């Protein structure tokens, strides 16, 4: 993927404007260090910073159709581009880039082609025949995108906020699953899956169907002409991704170029839960494993850079982005250009520990819908920007459109956590990959309790952040927090500390409005706090805030007790794989 910037409908077409567009585009160079391009047509400018992954030799952008009347700048990966090319037999493609199909699909189908794309993308398409344009963002918002408006009537598009914040009167997050058309100067939703209405599904749980859908999602993402690896924390999600990748890599074109030996990467403080678990999974799968240790001080020193790159003051996002930011730099130094990662599973399957308190299947399902819709402001933003800070791309198979449709169509009764029956969080996913004959993972990894990334890298990380913030934010400063920051007022010293740094980089009111707010416990939405009366007194996004659920929760971390169900009770025996389990 890459970084894109567009200035559309600018009345000043002087050389100074071109120079300014180039200057702003260079703010995105970390996203695409391999090449840069700029195309101007009249009052429209389309710029691009390329990270070359598919067709590195000829896939430079902007891209064009045959007569160059259609111009496209794209940040994305189109996994079904080969199938789409076959549907366009009368078109001549200039490159082998997966994104080359976009201009030609527009020629055939007009603005209604976006749902045909299977992948992750943000793009600006200019039709020079009438000087119209469209802008679109992928279904869930895996790629980052912003839109802004100038006082002169211009429209700005950028992969990151820093590309347009200084030149727009107002700017905001471009909503995922939407298309913006100059023909009607407005947004419309192109992604309308059945789950979006939050209606309660009733399909039976079919473990094999779920397994095959996820395997397909992983395999399609192994499209590459450059070296890659897998992020491996040792938790369920990343371990499944690594297991499937290792199992099927040898059958892909990628193996023909780079071999079938998979490289895995993990980060953590010395002695952290993730480092130990990841090494065990790597040994089991036979990956070439790279373990990166960092200190609390390393992380504290990087906070300013993290906030600049990730463009947020959200506490849980910064906590988790920092180790990912540090690890990404190490990975890129090894010559790896993209990684496959496990974001999205907890939102789809109710994997966060607070889901233990969901009162019924309706509330459970509606909360998963809310979490998926908000992913672009949390985990997707972290995964995209903390890796792209170093020119490293992250691919996320759990957020595959087809897989989400399968997973979100399951009767949520099967996703409900019932500890007395041995059903822990994400039970349906664990069950789907519990294969006795050809095991994907060791049992105790397959049934390891959920650890949020910012916890799993070492509990000392969050504790160190809180202690550091307490040294820089006084009680007196907190008393005036509501006057200094009336929007999303920080209610902890840690939040206040991050907010001060964010405001230095992004002082505009539009910038602070791009960051979500509201109370949260263990990464819940504000609505889910109603599930437990005690949570309102213990608002912290760490998984350890799920009192009575996490085995090292804040009540028990100094004298832990084992609150988990014994492994023998967790392993399900209700039905063999391949039998759909009715609600």
315 is in an annotated binding site: no
pLDDT at residue 560 tops 80: no
2 an active-site residue? yes
Mark whether 60 and 72 lie in a shared domain: yes
Question: In the predicted model, what is the mean pLDDT of the chain?
Answer: 91
Q: What percent of the chain has pLDDT over 90?
A: 79
CA angle 38, 128, 89 (to 5 degrees): 95
pLDDT at residue 565 tops 50: no
Radius of gyration of the chain (CA): 23
Q: Are 265 and 232 in contact (CB under 8 A)?
A: yes
Tell me how far apart the alpha carbons of residues 402 and 365 are, in angstroms, rounded to a whole number: 18
Q: Which residues pair with 492 in a beta bridge?
A: none
How high is the pLDDT of residue 258?
A: 80
In this structure, what token pair is assigned to residue 53?
């992954």
How high is the pLDDT of residue 82?
A: 95
In a domain, 450, yes or no: yes
Tell me how far apart the alpha carbons of residues 411 and 26 are, in angstroms, rounded to a whole number: 48
Tell me how far apart the alpha carbons of residues 54 and 377 are, in angstroms, rounded to a whole number: 27
pTM: 0.93
How high is the pLDDT of residue 544?
A: 54
Alpha carbon 191 to chain centroid distance? Answer: 17
Tell me how far apart the alpha carbons of residues 233 and 268 are, in angstroms, rounded to a whole number: 9
H or E stretch including 157? strand 155-158
Which pLDDT band holds residue 577 (cuts at 50, 70, 90)?
low
237 is in an annotated binding site: no
- Identify the CATH number of the domain in which residue 450 sits: 3.40.50.620
How high is the pLDDT of residue 162?
A: 98
**Dihedral sign from CA coordinates of 544, 546, 548, 549:** negative
What is the average per-residue pLDDT within 498-522? 95
Mark whether 187 and 216 lie in a shared domain: no
Q: Are 52 and 35 in contact (CB under 8 A)?
A: yes
342 is in an annotated binding site: yes
How high is the pLDDT of residue 225?
A: 87
Mark whether 351 and 444 lie in a shared domain: yes
Structural domain harbouring 462: 196-544
Mark whether 160 and 265 lie in a shared domain: no
How high is the pLDDT of residue 58?
A: 72
In a domain, 549, yes or no: no
Mark whether 232 and 354 lie in a shared domain: yes
Q: Which of 348, 346, 349, 344 is nearest to 416 (CA)?
A: 349
How high is the pLDDT of residue 578?
A: 47
In a domain, 551, yes or no: no
Tell me how far apart the alpha carbons of residues 455 and 544 are, in angstroms, rounded to a whole number: 8
Last residue of a domain, one of 162, 192, 222: 192
98 is in an annotated binding site: yes
In a domain, 459, yes or no: yes
Q: Which residue has the tokens 């403080």?
A: 269
pLDDT at residue 54 tops 70: yes
How confident is the model over 337-374, as pLDDT tens digits?
Answer: 999 999 999 999 999 999 999 999 999 999 999 999 99
In a domain, 575, yes or no: no
Q: Which residues pair with 50 in a beta bridge?
A: 2, 35
Q: Which of 306, 369, 316 is nearest to 517 (CA)?
A: 316
**299-326 as b/e: b if 16+ CB within 10 A:** bbebbebbbbbbbbbbbbbbbbbbbbbb
Tell me how far apart the alpha carbons of residues 453 and 580 are, in angstroms, rounded to a whole number: 32
Pairing of strands 170-173, 178-181: unpaired
In a domain, 55, yes or no: yes
How high is the pLDDT of residue 357?
A: 94
Helix or strand or coil: residue 57? Answer: coil
Mark whether 166 and 250 lie in a shared domain: no
Per annotation, catalytic residue among 2, 44, 380, 523 = 2
Tell me how far apart the alpha carbons of residues 506 and 283 are, in angstroms, rounded to a whole number: 44
Mark whether 118 and 74 lie in a shared domain: yes
In a domain, 74, yes or no: yes
Mark whether 223 and 169 lie in a shared domain: no
In a domain, 328, yes or no: yes
Tell me how far apart the alpha carbons of residues 403 and 583 are, in angstroms, rounded to a whole number: 20
Pairing of strands 263-268, 228-231: parallel
- Identify the CATH number of the domain in which residue 117 sits: 3.60.20.10
**448-468 as b/e: b if 16+ CB within 10 A:** bbbbbbbbbbbbebbebbbeb
Which pLDDT band holds residue 559 (cuts at 50, 70, 90)?
very low
Tell me how far apart the alpha carbons of residues 68 and 41 are, in angstroms, rounded to a whole number: 11
Q: Which of 237, 164, 160 is nearest to 446 (CA)?
A: 237
What's the chain's length in residues?
583
Mark whether 185 and 202 lie in a shared domain: no
Mark whether 188 and 204 lie in a shared domain: no
How high is the pLDDT of residue 457?
A: 76
Last residue of a domain, one of 153, 172, 192: 192
231 is in an annotated binding site: yes
In terms of C-beta density within 10 A (0-12 exposed, 13-18 middle, 19 or more buried), how is residue 424 classed? buried
Total structural domains in the chain?
2
- The pairs formed by 574-578 with CB atoms below 8 angstroms and a separation of 24 or more are 577/207, 577/208, 577/211, 577/432, 577/434, 577/435, 578/206, 578/207, 578/208
Q: Are 118 and 401 in contact (CB under 8 A)?
A: yes
Q: Which residues pair with 340 in a beta bridge?
A: 230, 395
Tell me how far apart the alpha carbons of residues 270 and 268 are, in angstroms, rounded to a whole number: 6
Last residue of a domain, one of 192, 208, 239: 192
Mark whether 298 and 440 lie in a shared domain: yes
How high is the pLDDT of residue 455?
A: 64
Tell me how far apart the alpha carbons of residues 458 and 244 are, in angstroms, rounded to a whole number: 26
Mark whether 225 and 318 lie in a shared domain: yes
């Amino acid at each position: 993927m890459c970084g894109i910037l567009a200035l559309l409908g600018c009345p000043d077409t002087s050389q100074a404007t071109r120079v300014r567009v180039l200057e702003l585009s260079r703010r995105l160079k970390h996203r695409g260090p391999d090449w840069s391009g700029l195309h101007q047509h009249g009052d429209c400018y389309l710029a691009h910073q390329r990270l070359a992954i598919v067709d590195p030799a000829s896939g430079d952008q902007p891209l064009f159709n045959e007569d160059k009347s259609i111009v496209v700048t794209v940040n994305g990966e189109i996994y079904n581009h080969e199938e789409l090319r076959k549907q366009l037999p009368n078109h001549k493609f200039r490159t082998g880039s997966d994104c080359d199909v976009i201009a030609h699909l527009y020629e055939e189908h007009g603005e209604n082609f976006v749902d045909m794309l299977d992948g992750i993308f943000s793009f600006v398409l200019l039709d020079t025949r009438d000087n119209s344009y469209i802008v679109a963002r992928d279904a869930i918002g895996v790629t980052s995108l912003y839109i802004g408006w100038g006082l002169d009537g211009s429209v700005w598009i950028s992969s990151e906020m820093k590309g347009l914040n200084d030149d727009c009167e107002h700017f905001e997050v471009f909503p995922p699953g939407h298309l913006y058309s100059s023909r009607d100067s407005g947004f419309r939703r192109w992604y309308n899956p059945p789950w979006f209405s939050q209606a309660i599904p009733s399909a039976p749980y079919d473990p094999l169907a779920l397994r095959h859908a996820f395997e397909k999602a992983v395999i399609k993402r192994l499209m590459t002409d450059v070296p890659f690896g897998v992020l491996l924390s040792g938790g369920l999600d990343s371990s499944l991704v690594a297991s499937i990748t290792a199992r099927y890599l040898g059958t892909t074109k990628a193996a023909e170029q780079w071999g079938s030996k998979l490289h895995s990467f993990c980060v953590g403080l010395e002695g952290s839960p993730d480092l130990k678990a990841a090494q065990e999974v790597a040994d089991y799968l036979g990956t070439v494993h790279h373990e990166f240790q960092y200190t609390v001080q390393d992380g504290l020193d990087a906070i300013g850079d993290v906030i600049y790159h990730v463009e947020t003051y959200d506490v849980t996002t910064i906590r988790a982005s920092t180790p990912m930011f540090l690890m990404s730099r190490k990975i890129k130094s090894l010559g790896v250009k993209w990684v496959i990662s496990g974001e999205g599973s907890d939102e789809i399957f109710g994997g966060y520990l607070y889901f233990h308190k969901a009162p019924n299947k309706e509330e459970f399902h509606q909360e998963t819908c809310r979490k998926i819709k908000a992913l672009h402001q949390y985990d997707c933003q972290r995964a995209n920007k903390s890796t792209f800070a170093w020119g490293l791309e992250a691919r996320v198979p759990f957020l595959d459109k087809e897989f989400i449709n399968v997973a979100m169509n399951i009767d949520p009764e099967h996703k409900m956590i019932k500890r007395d029956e041995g059903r822990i969080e994400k039970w349906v996913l664990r069950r789907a990959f519990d294969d006795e004959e050809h095991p994907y993972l060791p049992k105790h990894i397959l049934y390891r309790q959920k650890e949020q990334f910012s916890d799993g890298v070492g509990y000392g990380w969050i504790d160190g952040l809180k202690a550091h913030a307490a040294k820089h934010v006084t009680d007196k400063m907190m008393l005036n927090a509501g006057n200094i920051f009336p929007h999303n007022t920080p209610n902890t010293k840690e939040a206040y500390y991050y907010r001060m740094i964010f405001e230095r980089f992004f002082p505009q009111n539009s910038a602070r409005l791009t960051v979500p707010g509201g109370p949260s416990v263990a990464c819940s939405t504000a609505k889910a706090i109603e599930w437990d009366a005690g949570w309102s007194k213990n608002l912290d996004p760490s998984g350890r805030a799920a009192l009575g659920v996490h085995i090292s929760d804040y009540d028990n971390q100094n004298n832990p007790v084992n609150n988990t169900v014994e492994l023998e009770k967790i392993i399900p025996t209700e039905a063999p794989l391949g039998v759909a389990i009715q609600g």
